[in-house]
């Protein structure tokens, strides 16, 4: 008899403690991004994130981190 355990990925809302270089974050559709760099410029924190298939890179403000999820 084979018993299979279906492990589900568990996600939680990302917070400022998750803003670290090389951390992987996910949007609500499940797309994964890697944080490449966190920079301070002109009074605001920004992070440079890259799509995991490496097609594009985009800067976003760190205060929008709560729109993303991280794996527990």
Strand order in the sheet with 32-41: 11-13, 69-71, 24-26, 32-41, 44-51, 57-61
CATH number of the domain at 63, please: 2.30.30
Residue at 5 is within a domain: no
Residue length of the chain: 72
The alpha carbon of residue 54 and the mean position of all alpha carbons in its chain are separated, in whole angstroms, by 14
Under the phi-then-psi rule, with left for phi > 0, alpha for psi from -120 to 50, and beta for the rest, what region is 22? left
Residue 63, helix vs strand vs coil: helix
If one counts the domains in the chain, the total is 1
Q: Does residue 4 fall inside a structural domain?
A: no
pLDDT in tens, 43-69: 788 999 999 888 889 999 999 999 999
14 band by pLDDT with thresholds 50, 70 and 90 = very high
For residue range 15-45, list pLDDT tens digits in order: 999 999 999 999 999 899 999 999 987 778 8
Q: Does a structural domain hold residue 6? A: no
């Amino acid at each position: 008899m084979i018993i299979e355990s279906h492990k589900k990925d568990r996600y939680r809302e990302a917070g400022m403690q998750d803003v670290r270089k090389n951390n992987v974050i996910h949007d609500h559709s499940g797309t994964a991004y890697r944080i490449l760099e966190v920079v301070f410029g002109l009074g605001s924190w920004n992070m440079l994130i890259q799509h995991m298939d490496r097609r594009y890179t985009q800067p976003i403000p760190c205060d929008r981190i709560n729109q993303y999820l991280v794996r527990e």
